[in-house]
Amino acid sequence: MLAEFFTEAHITAIVFGTLGIALLLGIPIGYSLGLATLAGLLLTPIPLVYMAQSLYTGAGLFPLIAIPGFILASELMMRTGLTDRIVRVAYIAVGNVPGGLAVVTIISCAFFASLSGSGPATTAAIGGTMIPTMIRAGYPAPFAAAVAATGGTLGILIPPSNPMIVYAVMTKDVSVIGLFAAGVLPGLLLTFSLVVMCLIIGKRNGYKATGEKFALRPFLHAVWDARVALVMPMVVLGTIYTGAATPTESSMLAVIYAMGAGFATRRLSFADIAHSMVAAGKLTGAVLIIMGPAMAFGKLLTLYQIPEEIANGFMSLTQDRILMLMLFAAFMVLCGMFGESLSLIVLLTPIFLPIVMKLGVDPVQFGILFVVLCEVGFLTPPLGVTLFVASAISKVSIEQVSKAALKFVALLLAFVMLLILVPWVSTVGYKWGIG
């Protein structure tokens, strides 16, 4: 048999060589992982039926069902007009300051992030309203698009988060609920940092305020008008953190709530539901087509102790925890320019997690760090997903939006350093969530 002539080093080289060639040829990562796994299996005594079993079990994991639930809920929220009511509350509350519309965009994105779990969906939902509003108010179009693109990245840090669900599935030792809890403090801190940056940029460049001074009565009226949308995160996330429902069950509750709100306000039709289901199905399919081959790929690596060999190679460079995380961050920034966030989490978690855990890094800290680095990837071309969404809405070239987003990328990288140097920022929520 072929397996008798190949060592673990040979198998490692062939598996990663096949993966690299497939990716360079432009083959989607799900298929690339499948081809790499198949190439490795042909050189081992493991029967090929293992591939089919892994494809089935990898796509059928219970926590993954939460992803289509949260996506569908956010789609329904957009079609019922509840997103616009959320924006109105923020508009009245903080719009009348220099750079106020940019602040409104960030705050609205942060709130919508607590419903969607997706970066591009958050950018599309809030940017569709706020980018034209900022441009009409005199904000430069590239800056307006960059603000919406950056605010959209909060969709994967503030729970619920689709990448966090996938990371928890890949690690098997970190709970989804705990990881959601861990994302709350970093999400709030990053939101606050982005708000401060927008205020500074607005004041420095003289970007106009809304002209509407804050008044309690209109604000309370806007809050009352948006009450259905404002209560939704409390209901959905409250059931998760109190243990009343799992994240998967809570995602279905979010769908029922959004659907009920749409019918109650008479702004949701059966056609809207159908379109929302189709959109959710497309996005979910893109995730599941990666998860099956990824699980097979990860198991093959583990069986032949390939992550341990890679870990030894990295640890020969440095055994300092901070330097290793900085090395990983630099590698992720490069990968984020060309790879999609869920794909990178699926591909790199089995490789890098054992390395950093050997150095004493908490897997929760690593997970939150991973997600924030995926946010950087959303803002770095040529792939930069939220950049493309914002560019399409604003009708500004991707080059102009990318240039305007550089300040926000720098802020995100500074936040990455904070997570590396101050681990408790990303772990205190987890300890509270499982306590």
Containing structural domain, residue 363 = 47-433
Nearest to 350 by CA among 285, 287, 291, 412: 291
Which residue carries 């669900």 as its tokens?
Answer: 165
Q: What is the pLDDT of residues 135-167, one digit of tens each?
A: 988 899 999 999 999 999 999 999 988 899 989
The stretch 64-74 carries a mean pLDDT of: 83
Nearest to 344 by CA among 353, 335, 356: 335
Residue 1 pLDDT: 47
Over its C-alpha atoms, the chain yields an Rg (Å, rounded) of 22
Q: How many whole angstroms from its chain centre is CA 158?
A: 9
Residue 70 lies in a domain: yes
User: Highest-confidence range of 130-139, 163-172, 365-374, 426-435, by mean pLDDT?
Assistant: 365-374
Residue 41 lies in a domain: no
What mean pLDDT value characterizes the chain? Answer: 86
What amino acid occupies position 313?
Answer: G
Q: Which residues contact 68 (CB under 8 A, 6 or more apart)?
A: 251, 280, 281, 283, 284
Q: How many whole angstroms from its chain centre is CA 172?
A: 19
User: Highest-confidence range of 36-50, 237-251, 390-404, by mean pLDDT?
Assistant: 390-404
Residue 188 pLDDT: 95
Q: What is the pLDDT of residues 99-108, one digit of tens each?
A: 889 999 999 9
CA–CA distance, 61 with 171 (Å, rounded to integer): 13
Nearest to 357 by CA among 173, 177, 187, 185: 173
CA–CA distance, 413 with 205 (Å, rounded to integer): 23
Nearest to 11 by CA among 292, 348, 300: 300
Residue 423 pLDDT: 93
Q: What is the pLDDT of residues 367-409, one digit of tens each?
A: 999 999 999 999 998 778 899 889 989 999 989 999 999 999 9
Q: From residue 360, how far is each of 88, 208, 363 by CA, in Å?
A: 46, 49, 9
Reported as a pLDDT band with limits 50, 70 and 90, residue 229 is confident
The stretch 223-247 carries a mean pLDDT of: 85
Residue 164 lies in a domain: yes
* Number of domains comprising the chain: 1
Residue 397 lies in a domain: yes
Nearest to 397 by CA among 408, 407, 387, 406: 387
Q: Among the listed ranges 211-215, 277-281, 349-353, which one has the minimum average pLDDT value?
A: 211-215
Reported as a pLDDT band with limits 50, 70 and 90, residue 433 is low
Residue 200 pLDDT: 94
CA–CA distance, 171 with 203 (Å, rounded to integer): 44
Residue 4 pLDDT: 54
pTM of the model: 0.85
Reported as a pLDDT band with limits 50, 70 and 90, residue 338 is confident
Nearest to 153 by CA among 189, 115, 191, 180: 191
Q: Is the pLDDT of residue 209 over 80?
A: no
- Please check whether residue 293 is in contact with residue 30, taking contact to mean a CB–CB distance below 8 angstroms: yes
Residue 183 pLDDT: 93
Residue 8 lies in a domain: no
Residue 143 lies in a domain: yes
CA–CA distance, 2 with 11 (Å, rounded to integer): 11
The stretch 26-50 carries a mean pLDDT of: 83
Residue 206 lies in a domain: yes
Q: Is the pLDDT of residue 248 over 60?
A: yes
Q: Which residues of 281-313 are buried (b: 16+ CB within 10 A; e: fewer)?
A: eebbeebbbbbbbbbbbbbbbeebebbeebbee
Residue 435 pLDDT: 46
User: 411: which 2 tokens?
Assistant: 């802020």
User: 290: which 2 tokens?
Assistant: 């990666």
Residue 307 lies in a domain: yes
